Amino acid sequence: MWVQRLGRSLVGYAPRFFRPISTRIVGKTNIEVQEQTDSQPLIFPGVWLRDNCLCEDCFHVSSQSRKLDWDKFDTRVHPLKVRTDEKAQEAIVNWSDRHESRFPIKWLKERSFREEHQEEYLADLYRPPTRLWAGSQFKTISQHFDYGQVMDDDQVLEQWLQALAVYGVALIRGAPQDEGVVRRLAERVGFIRRTTYGEEFVVQAKPGAQNFAYLSLPLPLHTDLPYYEYKPSVNILHCLVQTESPGGSNLLVDAFYVADRLRREHTEDYERLCRIVVDWNDIGSEDGREFHNIWRAPVICLDAQGQYTRVNHSVPQRDSHFNVPFEEVQPWYESYAKFVQLSRSEAYAFKTRPGEVLTFNNIRLLHGRTGYDDTEQNSRYIVGAYLDWDIIYSRLRVLKKRRNQ
Ligand SMILES: [Zn+2]
């Protein structure tokens, strides 16, 4: 009791604690910031600091945007003087263009140029690092969440989206048996991604189907809409009625894992599938509107850092137009067959039950379905919709920021 009371009075009367900070100009253009408690100083390029001045002439606070006049920006600008305001915990810089900037130390630390700090920031706020999985690991990596909790609790919403980002798949259970579930889930995150097939779509065996998925035949492994430049990112598939016949199982494969295996075990095939551009297409009409979609891209797409950005695979939606040099054709088929064979060997099969919502990354995973038989009393009925990663990552960042505040 006494300790508590003393503690409280100390907090009340103690002067604010200022951390001693030293700043200096190094290498003529850069600024070094050293907190005495920190063993290693942080160094910031002068040109970057001047570009990111936070004063009201250079930065628009309410839109969090730079408003510095770049038509007049001198990239050779350099600091003339730097000092520290320990009370405000700020570094104050006077520049060769007669400007003065103040940078909060906390703001600077959050923008450290040290590699490990940048990696930490990117993994935490930009995109969580992915964890790839083999088919045999599916049971250990697949997480499930309660529909009601996802809808009501921001923490559970964040956990669902985080699982989706890391593993590319997550299951939601306990959803009501109505057709509005996929829209409500999508709108809990942001908004539905519309495609040629509308916003919500029904996957049900129907005669004269305009899309291969709308048949009860086995649906081989594929990604949806490879013929779109901006391919829908995440599938939300709500099972309302499941077939009682032995079929109708979902098949899922982590195609980034398959690509990794291909790179290790069949390097030439891997390189060919990263290099050869394939035509993907979809021709038909929906609600009286005719469409003809084409997108040309390799099976395995990489970014500037050699990271996977997207996998394209769909036997029905691969165009018969194949605009590659003649001599590339046969080797490409060999490599593609290897990819398809490896994918099949890594596929995990399971059957969703009514009230379950399967969500997975359409950029990364292949999915398929085993064939099934509908009866008059039992006809498999799935309602689907898509979400985009831009919308999901944005929501995830907002949730993380709110939790950290
Ligand atoms: Zn300024």
CB 358, CB 351: distance < 8 Å: no
CB 68, CB 58: distance < 8 Å: yes
Ligand 1 geometric centre to CA of 23 (Å)? 19
Ligand 1 geometric centre to CA of 72 (Å)? 13
Tokens of 20: 């001693």
What pLDDT score was predicted for residue 352? 93
CA distances from 265 to 66, 205, 260, 307, 339 (A): 48, 39, 9, 18, 11
Kindly state the average pLDDT of the residues 63-86.
Answer: 96
What pLDDT score was predicted for residue 2? 37
Residue 3 has pLDDT above 50, yes or no: no
Angle at 218 between CA 214 and CA 219, to 5 degrees: 60
Ligand 1 geometric centre to CA of 100 (Å)? 6
Per CATH, domain 135-404 is 3.60.130.10: yes
Tokens of 226: 């490879």
Ligand 1 geometric centre to CA of 91 (Å)? 13
Annotated domain spans of the chain: 2-113, 135-404
Average pLDDT of every residue of the chain: 92
CATH of 2-113, one of 3.30.70.360, 3.30.2020.30, 3.40.140.10, 3.40.50.11600: 3.30.2020.30
Residue 15 has pLDDT above 70, yes or no: no
- By CB atoms closer than 10 A (0-12, 13-18, 19+), residue 404 is exposed
Q: What tens digit of pLDDT does each residue of 242-270 get?
A: 988 888 889 999 999 999 999 999 999 99
Ligand 1 geometric centre to CA of 49 (Å)? 10
Ligand 1 geometric centre to CA of 17 (Å)? 28
Q: What tens digit of pLDDT does each residue of 133-189 get?
A: 999 999 999 999 999 999 999 999 999 999 999 999 999 999 999 999 999 999 999
Ligand 1 geometric centre to CA of 65 (Å)? 13
Ligand 1 geometric centre to CA of 103 (Å)? 10
Beta strands in 223-356 (DSSP E): 234-241, 250-254, 278-286, 289-297, 300-302, 308-311, 348-350
Confidence of residue 19 (pLDDT cuts 50, 70, 90): confident
Ligand 1 geometric centre to CA of 224 (Å)? 48
Ligand 1 geometric centre to CA of 94 (Å)? 10
Ligand 1 geometric centre to CA of 159 (Å)? 40
Ligand 1 geometric centre to CA of 56 (Å)? 6
Confidence of residue 306 (pLDDT cuts 50, 70, 90): very high
Amino acid identity of residue 367, one-letter, is H
Ligand 1 geometric centre to CA of 61 (Å)? 12
Ligand 1 geometric centre to CA of 290 (Å)? 54
Ligand 1 geometric centre to CA of 66 (Å)? 10
Residue 13 has pLDDT above 60, yes or no: no
Angle at 371 between CA 367 and CA 372, to 5 degrees: 125
Pairing outcome for strands 79-85 and 90-95: antiparallel
**396 or 379: whose pLDDT is higher?**
396
- By CB atoms closer than 10 A (0-12, 13-18, 19+), residue 34 is middle
pTM metric for this prediction:
0.90
Ligand 1 geometric centre to CA of 401 (Å)? 27
CA distances from 175 to 178, 181, 185, 370 (A): 8, 7, 10, 24
Q: What tens digit of pLDDT does each residue of 226-249 get?
A: 999 999 999 999 999 998 888 888
334 vs 47: CA distance, rounded Å: 52
Kindly state the average pLDDT of the residues 184-211.
Answer: 88
Ligand 1 geometric centre to CA of 397 (Å)? 28
Ligand 1 geometric centre to CA of 99 (Å)? 6
Ligand 1 geometric centre to CA of 51 (Å)? 8
Residue 14 has pLDDT above 50, yes or no: no
Ligand 1 geometric centre to CA of 102 (Å)? 8
Kindly state the average pLDDT of the residues 258-283.
Answer: 98
What pLDDT score was predicted for residue 298? 98
Residue 28 has pLDDT above 50, yes or no: yes
Residue 6 has pLDDT above 90, yes or no: no
Ligand 1 geometric centre to CA of 22 (Å)? 22
**208 or 66: whose pLDDT is higher?**
66
What pLDDT score was predicted for residue 371? 85
Confidence of residue 208 (pLDDT cuts 50, 70, 90): low
Ligand 1 geometric centre to CA of 62 (Å)? 16
Q: What tens digit of pLDDT does each residue of 88-134 get?
A: 999 999 999 999 999 999 999 999 999 999 999 999 999 999 999 99
The answer to whether domain 2-113 and domain 135-404 are alike in fold is: no
Confidence of residue 209 (pLDDT cuts 50, 70, 90): low
Ligand 1 geometric centre to CA of 60 (Å)? 10
Ligand 1 geometric centre to CA of 58 (Å)? 4
Ligand 1 geometric centre to CA of 74 (Å)? 13
